[in-house]
Structure 1
């Protein structure tokens, strides 16, 4: 699919922001006063900044509020509700730490749960799509959640948690790639099954449906060469997991810790670009692109 910058920014930044909010809600760390203000400011800039970026991919941003009414059937609606709930509750929880030096533990736990829930609902928006076999499996929410929690631990300075969580995130990302590479073939979806003509023999398109491009080709058919994809995977996993692990194991100082966060963020950007660029929508079968 077309790797839109707005969606890549959204899924990367908001995941990191909500991951940090989750750790703050659990009291890891448990700062107060101005230190707490800085932590919450960073978390909100990432989470809210990512959510704002997502609206740039909407055809009609002015209708975004209507999505909240479809929570019974829409993961997008559930995502919005979880996000708003998490931001409101964590704002109240953060106010207690910043202005009163008090940790309201129950609110923190609820806010942490909603923060993780927001990332889960985001992942489920993609996981539910049967038309994209690469996404339609358990590795998608596993990958989203593990990267969110690992990034949150890294930003929160929880080194003892960040090290194993980064390893887990790397394993989840690699598993998503490995299973995804064969997902389209294993789904059994072909032009023969789509037309119902498979029993008559081999089915192939006589000629392309269009002589030029169209909306479907722009949004749902994006082809990246295997050689380039492999290079980007290596870059993504090294920057997202490898370099941060080396830094944390050698010297988890504040300056190097900041470098680890930047490296992790760039790596997640690369991995998330591939997440969209390598997603083979089945509509590509009709255009001879798969």
Structure 2
């Protein structure tokens, strides 16, 4: 799949924003006054900024509001509804915390909404039968783990961050190891796509056409194995290898900033690979897989 910057920014920063909002909803931490304002402003800047970035990948961004009408069949619509409900509820909760008014049950509802929003985001990709690499339980599990881990770092929840970062690293490795063979294991070939597989081995005599088209630009993106391995190593080091020892040693102002920036850079790298390495089955028709 084409790794569009808009969807990379969307999945990275909306996950971080809702992850931080999750911990704030649980009262971990439980700031008040201007400190609470700063925490909630950061969470909303990331969550809302990420959601807005996603609209730049739409052909008609002005029609984005129509997404909420298809909730019966569309995970994108369910995500939009969950995000709006969570952000509105979170806004009320934020005002109460700024004024030092206890509202624990409302905070728990906000945290539940954050989990639902991140889960529905992940399911947009998990439900795609045409991308076998994504259609696996590791996709929603990894989205949730990275969101909660990033939020824990931003909320300075040291012990939780360590556990969640380690869990996310393991999930990422499992997703890569199992995902690399998933297209081959799916049994989808040019023969099954054309219905001619019973006759014998099917191959294209000539390319479908001489120039590029929308399908090739959006659904057929090929990244070299060597570059993929290098980017995987960079992503793992930045997202997990740098923050974990810093958090274990105890965060100061400088080390906290380094841990946050390294984690964000690493997740951006991992998200780029998430899209770039997603082999859409339409690539078989063009001889790209």
How would you bin the TM-score normalised by the shorter chain?
A: over 0.9
Partner of 2:89: 89
**What secondary structure, in the 3-state scheme, does the structure 1 residue paired with 2:36 have?**
helix
Give distance in 2, aligned partners of 1:254 and 1:110: 31
**What secondary structure, in the 3-state scheme, does the structure 2 residue paired with 1:157 have?**
coil
Give distance in 2, aligned partners of 1:172 and 1:85: 29
Give distance in 2, aligned partners of 1:103 and 1:16: 25
C-alpha distance after superposition, 1:103-144 (max 9, x if no partner): 311110111111111110000000000000000111100110
Partner of 2:40: 40
Q: Contact 1:189–1:282 (CA<8 Å) still a contact in 2?
A: yes
Partner of 1:274: 273
Q: Contact 2:142–2:172 (CA<8 Å) still a contact in 1?
A: yes
Give distance in 1, aligned partners of 2:11 and 2:103: 29
C-alpha distance after superposition, 1:170-196 (max 9, x if no partner): 111111111110010000000011111
Q: Contact 1:67–1:76 (CA<8 Å) still a contact in 2?
A: yes
Partner of 2:19: 19
**What secondary structure, in the 3-state scheme, does the structure 2 residue paired with 1:200 have?**
coil
Q: Contact 2:90–2:110 (CA<8 Å) still a contact in 1?
A: yes
C-alpha displacement of 1:254: 2.5
Give distance in 1, aligned partners of 2:83 and 2:286: 38
C-alpha distance after superposition, 1:185-235 (max 9, x if no partner): 000000011111111111101111010100000000000000000000000
Give distance in 2, aligned partners of 1:136 and 1:19: 23
Tell me, which stretches of 5 or more residues in structure 2 are unaligned?
Answer: none
Give distance in 1, aligned partners of 2:66 and 2:221: 30
Partner of 1:206: 205
Partner of 1:79: 79
Q: Contact 1:93–1:103 (CA<8 Å) still a contact in 2?
A: no
Give distance in 2, aligned partners of 1:41 and 1:160: 24
Partner of 1:49: 49
C-alpha displacement of 1:69: 1.0
Off by >6 Å, runs of 4+ in structure 1: none
Q: Contact 2:220–2:279 (CA<8 Å) still a contact in 1?
A: yes
Partner of 1:7: 7
Q: Contact 2:126–2:139 (CA<8 Å) still a contact in 1?
A: yes
Give distance in 1, aligned partners of 2:238 and 2:115: 23
1:285 aligns with 2:284: yes
Q: Contact 2:158–2:248 (CA<8 Å) still a contact in 1?
A: no
TM norm structure 2: 0.99
C-alpha displacement of 1:244: 0.1
Q: Contact 1:16–1:151 (CA<8 Å) still a contact in 2?
A: yes
C-alpha displacement of 1:248: 1.0
Give distance in 2, aligned partners of 1:34 and 1:127: 39
Provide the aligned length of Structure 1 versus Structure 2: 289
C-alpha distance after superposition, 1:55-99 (max 9, x if no partner): 00001111111110111111000000000011000110010011x
Write out aligned runs for 1:53-68 (5 A): 53-68=53-68
Give distance in 1, aligned partners of 2:69 and 2:58: 17
Tell me, which stretches of 5 or more residues in structure 1 are unaligned?
Answer: none
C-alpha displacement of 1:240: 0.3
C-alpha displacement of 1:257: 1.1
C-alpha displacement of 1:42: 0.5
